């Protein structure tokens, strides 16, 4: 019996597992198989893994708030008072006072009549888009929109028209050609995180107003970052009151978790009744709402974080465009996300791994997230970085790209 205990269990792959293994092998062969990297502890821009530590240039913690002790303290207080869970959906018995307080706080921050919380940005897009447009309607979507917008559009069963990236002229033509639809809506990201560019929302508002089309903007990477006050892309482009629906996330610059849709009272009332990902899901913990209220206070009271973020990003951008101009995208001008185009999947993995060996973690982005042959490093700046860390990354990345032969 002892012998059989120490022998490895015999593997019997089920027909499901056999099928899936074949699929995974094919991904592996193309250099596209993904795996998780475990983080043991995080403090500011430093990630600890086992006995090693790395500077984090991969995360969306643009303002350095994800490990802010004041935000954590707000959560801890609320945990003490309310416990961990929300026991039901908002519409049953899960609607806590702190959810409503956070919604008022978001509406006031964004300058809208109202706001509605969702448990994630993915859930917000998956719920709100199908609530607003249906079969028989038409939705216009930028070619490089985030997966959650693409999925929300598909789920809506509206006609989906994909227009070339940031191409307002093409969009205008499509809008003019479509006459038979009752409802039309344009759906875009404000900041495209794989190219680091922005959608011109002033031009968007103009075409939408000309054609009587609704507008839906995903402000995930702009919330807390863009605009003088950090309220997002609406402020940045000066289009207050001209975009119908604005989705923003709380898990990026704000350092907590969840998402919101900000807009009119009527929009919020409607989504509360019709967005399935709002209705049929457990409310997020009240402690997260309490933490987010504190995060929004800090975003407003500490504008130096945005200044620091911009200065760091500018420092990195000018070093890389000097040393590695052929790897930089000319259109990239977001104040915080810098793509470095490397080429093949294998090469980008090699460069990412070598950077990690030297103490830096950056995003490694491959197809299908980006087109084949344009695999890239996605480098996120943060107010939590020091100048030495920024200079170190630029120096090591330049050395690696120039001197490491393709494996
Ligand atoms: C991150 C992101 C989302 C998803 O938000 P989560 O809260 O992480 O689910 C949606 N849209 C865009 C553009 C994003 O970058």
How far apart CA 102 and CA 391 sit, in angstroms, is 38
Q: So what's the pLDDT on residue 330?
A: 73
Contact indicator for 101, 109 with CB cutoff of 8 Å: no
CA of 121 to the centre of ligand 1 (A): 5
CA of 163 to the centre of ligand 1 (A): 21
* Ligand 1 neighbourhood includes 193 CB (under 6 angstroms): yes
Q: Is 146 a catalytic residue?
A: no
Q: So what's the pLDDT on residue 9?
A: 63
Q: So what's the pLDDT on residue 332?
A: 67
286-301 vs 69-82: helix axis angle to the nearest 10? Answer: 150
Residue 19 zone, left/alpha/beta (φ > 0; ψ -120 to 50; rest) = alpha
* Ligand 1 neighbourhood includes 382 CB (under 6 angstroms): no
For residue 214, the surrounding DSSP H or E stretch is strand 214-218
Q: Using alpha carbons, select from 271, 264, 248 the residue that is nearest to residue 127.
A: 271
Contact indicator for 196, 332 with CB cutoff of 8 Å: yes
Q: Using alpha carbons, select from 386, 361, 362, 365 the residue that is nearest to residue 374.
A: 365
Query: Of ligand 1's atoms, which has the minimum distance to the CA of residue 252?
Result: 1
Annotated catalytic residue, options 221, 236, 327, 336: 221
Query: Of ligand 1's atoms, which has the minimum distance to the CA of residue 145?
Result: 13
Q: So what's the pLDDT on residue 311?
A: 96
* Ligand 1 neighbourhood includes 317 CB (under 6 angstroms): no
Q: Any idea what the Cα angle at residue 83 is, between residues 77 and 87, rounded to 5°? A: 140
Q: So what's the pLDDT on residue 219?
A: 98
Q: So what's the pLDDT on residue 1?
A: 43
The DSSP bridge pattern shows strands 360-365 and 52-57 to be: parallel
Q: Using alpha carbons, select from 355, 297, 399 the residue that is nearest to residue 63.
A: 297
Residues constituting the chain: 407
Contact indicator for 246, 199 with CB cutoff of 8 Å: no
Query: Of ligand 1's atoms, which has the minimum distance to the CA of residue 251?
Result: 7
304-323 vs 387-403: helix axis angle to the nearest 10? Answer: 20
Residue pointed to by tokens 């996300």: 337
Q: Using alpha carbons, select from 91, 113, 115 the residue that is nearest to residue 102.
A: 115
CA of 191 to the centre of ligand 1 (A): 11
Q: So what's the pLDDT on residue 3?
A: 47
- In the three-class reduction of DSSP (H, G, I as helix; E, B as strand; rest coil), residue 45 is classed as coil
Annotated catalytic residue, options 252, 308, 327, 336: 252
Q: Is 334 a catalytic residue?
A: no
How far apart CA 279 and CA 332 sit, in angstroms, is 38
Contact indicator for 175, 211 with CB cutoff of 8 Å: yes
Q: Is 193 a catalytic residue?
A: yes
CA of 247 to the centre of ligand 1 (A): 9
How far apart CA 47 and CA 15 sit, in angstroms, is 40
pLDDT along the chain (407 residues), means of 10: 55 90 94 90 94 97 97 98 95 97 98 98 98 97 97 98 97 94 96 93 97 97 96 97 98 98 98 98 98 98 97 94 85 84 93 97 92 94 98 97 83
Q: Which domains does the chain have, with CATH numbers?
A: 33-62+303-403 (3.90.1150.10), 69-301 (3.40.640.10)
């Amino acid at each position: 019996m002892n012998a059989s205990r120490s022998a490895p269990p015999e593997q019997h792959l089920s027909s499901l597992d056999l099928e899936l293994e074949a699929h995974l092998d094919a991904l592996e062969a193309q250099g596209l198989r993904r795996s998780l990297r475990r983080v043991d502890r995080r403090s500011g821009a430093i990630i600890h893994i086992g006995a090693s530590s790395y500077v984090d240039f991969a995360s969306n913690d643009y303002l350095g708030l994800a490990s802010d002790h004041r935000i954590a303290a707000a959560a801890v207080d609320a945990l003490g008072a309310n416990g961990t869970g929300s026991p039901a959906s908002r519409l049953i018995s899960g609607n806590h006072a702190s959810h409503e307080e956070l919604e008022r706080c978001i509406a006031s921050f964004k300058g809208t009549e109202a706001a509605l919380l969702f448990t994630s940005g993915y859930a917000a897009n998956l719920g709100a888009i199908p609530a607003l447009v249906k079969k028989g309607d038409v939705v216009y979507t930028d070619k490089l929109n985030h997966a959650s917008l693409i999925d929300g559009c598909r789920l809506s069963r509206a006609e989906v028209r994909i227009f070339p990236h940031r191409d307002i002229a093409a969009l205008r033509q499509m809008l003019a050609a479509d006459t038979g639809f009752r409802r039309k809506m344009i759906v875009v990201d404000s900041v495209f995180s794989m190219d680091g560019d922005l959608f011109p929302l002033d031009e968007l508002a103009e075409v939408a107003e000309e054609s009587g089309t609704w507008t839906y903007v995903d402000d995930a990477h702009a919330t807390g970052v863009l605009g003088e006050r950090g309220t997002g892309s609406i402020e940045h482009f000066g289009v207050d009151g001209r975009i119908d629906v604005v989705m923003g996330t709380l898990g990026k610059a704000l350092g907590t978790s969840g998402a919101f849709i900000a807009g009119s009272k009527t929009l919020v009332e409607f989504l509360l009744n019709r967005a399935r990902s709002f209705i049929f899901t457990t409310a997020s913990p009240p402690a997260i709402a309490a933490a987010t209220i504190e995060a929004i206070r800090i975003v407003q009271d500490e504008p130096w974080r945005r200044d620091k973020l911009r200065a760091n990003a500018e420092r990195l951008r000018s070093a890389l465009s000097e040393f590695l101009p052929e790897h930089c995208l000319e259109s990239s001008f977001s104040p915080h996300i810098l793509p470095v185009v490397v080429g093949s999947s294998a090469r980008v993995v090699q460069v990412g791994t070598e950077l990690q060996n030297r103490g830096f973690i950056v995003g490694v982005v491959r197809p299908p997230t980006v087109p084949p042959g344009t695999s890239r490093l996605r480098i996120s700046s943060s107010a939590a970085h020091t100048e030495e860390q920024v200079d170190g990354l630029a120096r090591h990345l330049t050395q690696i790209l120039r001197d490491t032969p393709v494996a």
